Each structure stands twice: as structure tokens, then as C-alpha cells.
């Protein structure tokens, strides 16, 4: 009740920037908002991240409760929130037209999509609009004129997305598109039917901006020798390396000489296994040989994305990390 983060002099006023949020239509716990503008050699991307730490004091009972939960748990048609809904859906959410405390990642993106210099800013922001994935997807596909009032930031964001995505496709690893399904529940929360759906272009846009901010977060933590948390991924399981090499010898001998312990080697192997000319679904067949991503206090490779460092700082209303 005594927290007044908007009144501190350390926050930079960025309310003049035309941030917009893009999320599911029903979402109220809005973690992030986006803005981009053209620069002399590419774009400047701003990712505003909600700042619940402004309201949750370190030694408080609330902080201990939030830390114990660790994450919001999403069910079909229901959610167990990590934060009290008054904070996650109101006080801290980057809601349309409201001044909110935020941690803003300002990052330079070059014409070829490279993530360059960055700055983290404790700021005050004001989202201009709460846009839905569906509406933005229609706009980006030329079908929805009602969003023309937000055309300037959306066009710049779309340009940034295309550059970031193209760079990751060339230099990193992008998760392959796969068929996803949505459970439709009836009034009794029983499954009524299951519908296939594809990830929208607007969802990919937001995802790419979040990845850029999280890469900057990992670089910031590593530069300051912080103890994380980092998100790491070792790639192939250490206890299955012999099996991995045998698999490659048998099904992809051209990749057998690549070193799966290096980012470059892992990237080459996974790209080769996913090549369209393969007769067998080799990329899927090696899933059982892979490790899960882990949280770490040390900055280490994230093989699954072919990055030398990664973290997750863009969902603070849903993830304690």
C-alpha cells in the first residue's frame, strides 16, 4: 500500500513512445508492450516489461508466497496465478492508456537483423492499445483496416520481426513449425472437441521481440558477472552421445564428423537432420536423445537456439524467474 514507484526520480519517462501490447484477446495479465522506430542503420526496438518488483518488497510475506509458487499454472479454461490478480491484472499489467512502471529493453537491431547495443531502463510507459493476436495477424496480412491508427509502430515492428527472424534462421536455430491443437471445453470443463491450429504471424512477431530482449538480458547478466538465472540447454544428453554418434553414422553419415558439444556442430547436425531432402523424419527421431532446458547460475550455451547465452526476463507477472 505504501509503494509509489511512479513517484521516484530514477524512472525515465517514456510515456511519449507509442507502445502497444499484442496478446490473446482475453488476456489481462499483460507482461509486455512493444514499440519500434527506424534508425540510421536499422531499427531501435523497445520491449517494455511489467515491473512487479516495484510493488513486491523483498522481505515481505507476499514475496515469499510468490517465490514459493514460482509460476502461474495454466489449465484449459482456468489459471492458478502466481501473483495476486489485483497486481497481475491491474496494478502491474501494462494496460491500455495507463501509466505503469516498467523495465524497458532498448536494443539496436541492424538492417540484417543482428542484435546490437542495448540498454535496460527503469521507466514509466503508457500502452496506447491492447491489440489481439488475431486482429494484428489480419492487419499484417492486409485484411484489417481498423488498426490503421497504429500502423506506424506496427509496420516498424513487422520490419524488425522479419529482420530478426531472417538472421536467426541463417545463424541460429528456429523451432520447426509443427501442428498444434487446442482443446475446446464445454460448460462442465470436459473436452468437447479438439481443433488444430497454426501459430499466427502476430505471435511469431511477439516471440521474436521477446527472444531479442531475453538475449540482451543474458548478455547484461553475464557482463556484470551476475549469478543468473540463465536458461541453458546442453543439446544431446551426455549419457547418450555414443548412441547419437551411432544414429548419425547410420542415417546421416555426412553429419557424423560434426562435434555435438559445440554450438556450431549442434546447429549443423540439427539443420542437416531437418533438411527437406531427408527420406526419414530424422529430426523428430533424435528427440529422445536430447536434454531439457535448465535454469543455471552460470551463463552457458543454449544449444536448442544455437545461442551462447539466454535467459527469461519477459514474463514477470507469470514467472518468478
Q: Is residue 173 classed as helix, strand or coil in its secondary structure? A: coil
Is 29 marked active-site? yes
Q: Is residue 278 classed as helix, strand or coil in its secondary structure? A: coil
Enter the C-alpha cell of residue 118: 542495448
Most confident of 74-88, 186-200, 296-310: 296-310
Rounded to the nearest integer, the mean pLDDT of the chain is 92
Is the preceding peptide bond at 23 cis, omega within 30 degrees of 0? no
Is 249 marked active-site? no
Under 8 Å CB-to-CB from 120, ≥6 apart: which residues? Answer: 103, 104, 105, 106, 216, 217, 220
Top pLDDT among 304 and 3 is at: 304
**Residue range 96-125: mean pLDDT, rounded:** 98
The CA-atom distances, in angstroms, between 315 and each of 202, 215, 321 are 18, 14, 8
The tens digit of pLDDT for each residue in 268-311 reads 999 999 998 888 999 999 999 999 999 999 999 999 999 999 99
Burial of 154 (0-12, 13-18, 19+ CB in 10 A): buried
Which member of 23, 158, 161, 310 is catalytic? Answer: 23
Burial of 310 (0-12, 13-18, 19+ CB in 10 A): buried
**Residue range 203-226: mean pLDDT, rounded:** 98
Which member of 11, 126, 267, 318 is catalytic? Answer: 318
Top pLDDT among 9 and 16 is at: 16
The tens digit of pLDDT for each residue in 231-245 reads 999 999 999 999 999
Inform me whether the pLDDT recorded for 259 exceeds 90: yes
Q: State residue 151's pLDDT score.
A: 66
> Predicted confidence band at 6 (pLDDT cuts at 50, 70, 90)?
low
Q: Distance (Å, rounded) from C-alpha 277 to C-alpha 273?
A: 9
Q: What percent of the chain has pLDDT over 70?
A: 96
Inform me whether the pLDDT recorded for 3 exceeds 70: no
Q: State residue 187's pLDDT score.
A: 86
Which member of 11, 100, 126, 133 is catalytic? Answer: 133
Is 31 marked active-site? yes
**φ/ψ of residue 19, rounded to 5:** -65, 145
Q: What is the DSSP letter of 42?
A: E
The tens digit of pLDDT for each residue in 143-188 reads 867 777 766 789 999 999 999 999 999 999 998 777 888 888 888 8
Is 99 marked active-site? no
Answer yes or no: are the C-beta atoms of 55 and 87 closer than 8 Å. yes
Is 298 marked active-site? no
**Residue range 111-123: mean pLDDT, rounded:** 98
Inform me whether the pLDDT recorded for 10 exceeds 70: yes
Is 58 marked active-site? no
Indicate the range of 84-98, 119-133, 181-195 predicted with least confidence.
181-195
Indicate the range of 120-134, 164-178, 201-215, 291-305 predicted with least confidence.
164-178
Q: State residue 8's pLDDT score.
A: 60
Inform me whether the pLDDT recorded for 2 exceeds 60: no
**Residue range 30-50: mean pLDDT, rounded:** 97
Q: State residue 188's pLDDT score.
A: 85
**Residue range 94-114: mean pLDDT, rounded:** 97
Q: State residue 40's pLDDT score.
A: 95
Which member of 11, 32, 126, 158 is catalytic? Answer: 32
Which member of 11, 31, 168, 266 is catalytic? Answer: 31
Which member of 29, 100, 161, 267 is catalytic? Answer: 29
Indicate the range of 3-12, 89-98, 167-176, 230-239 predicted with least confidence.
3-12
Amino acid at each position: 500500500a505504501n509503494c509509489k514507484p511512479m513517484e521516484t526520480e530514477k524512472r525515465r519517462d517514456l510515456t511519449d513512445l507509442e507502445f502497444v501490447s499484442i496478446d490473446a484477446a482475453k488476456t489481462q495479465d499483460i507482461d509486455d508492450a512493444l514499440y519500434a522506430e527506424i534508425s540510421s542503420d536499422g531499427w531501435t526496438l523497445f520491449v517494455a516489461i511489467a515491473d512487479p518488483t516495484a510493488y513486491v518488497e523483498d522481505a515481505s510475506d507476499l514475496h515469499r508466497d510468490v517465490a514459493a509458487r514460482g509460476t502461474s499454472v495454466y489449465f484449459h479454461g482456468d489459471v492458478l496465478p502466481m501473483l495476486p490478480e489485483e497486481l497481475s491484472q491491474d496494478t502491474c499489467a501494462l494496460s491500455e492508456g495507463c501509466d505503469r512502471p516498467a523495465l524497458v529493453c532498448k536494443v539496436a537491431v541492424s538492417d540484417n537483423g543482428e542484435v546490437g547495443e542495448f540498454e535496460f531502463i527503469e521507466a514509466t510507459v503508457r500502452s496506447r492499445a491492447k491489440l489481439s493476436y488475431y486482429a494484428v495477424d489480419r492487419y499484417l496480412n492486409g485484411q484489417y483496416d481498423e488498426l490503421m491508427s497504429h500502423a506506424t509502430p506496427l509496420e516498424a515492428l513487422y520490419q524488425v520481426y522479419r529482420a530478426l527472424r531472417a538472421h536467426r534462421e541463417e545463424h541460429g536455430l528456429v523451432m520447426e513449425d509443427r501442428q498444434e491443437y487446442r482443446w475446446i471445453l464445454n460448460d462442465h470443463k470436459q473436452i468437447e472437441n479438439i481443433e488444430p491450429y497454426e501459430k499466427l504471424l502476430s505471435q511469431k512477431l511477439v516471440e521474436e521481440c521477446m527472444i531479442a530482449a531475453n538475449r540482451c538480458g543474458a548478455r547484461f547478466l553475464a557482463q556484470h558477472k551476475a549469478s543468473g538465472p540463465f536458461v541453458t540447454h546442453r543439446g544431446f544428453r551426455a549419457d547418450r552421445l555414443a548412441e547419437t554418434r551411432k544414429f548419425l553414422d547410420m542415417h546421416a553419415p555426412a553429419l557424423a564428423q560434426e562435434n555435438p558439444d559445440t554450438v556450431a556442430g549442434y546447429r549443423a547436425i540439427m539443420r542437416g537432420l531437418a533438411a527437406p531432402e531427408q527420406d526419414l523424419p530424422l529430426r523428430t527421431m533424435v528427440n529422445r536423445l536430447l536434454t531439457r532446458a535448465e535454469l543455471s547460475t552460470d551463463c552457458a550455451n543454449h544449444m536448442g537456439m544455437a545461442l551462447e547465452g539466454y535467459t527469461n526476463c519477459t514474463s514477470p507477472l507469470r514467472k518468478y524467474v
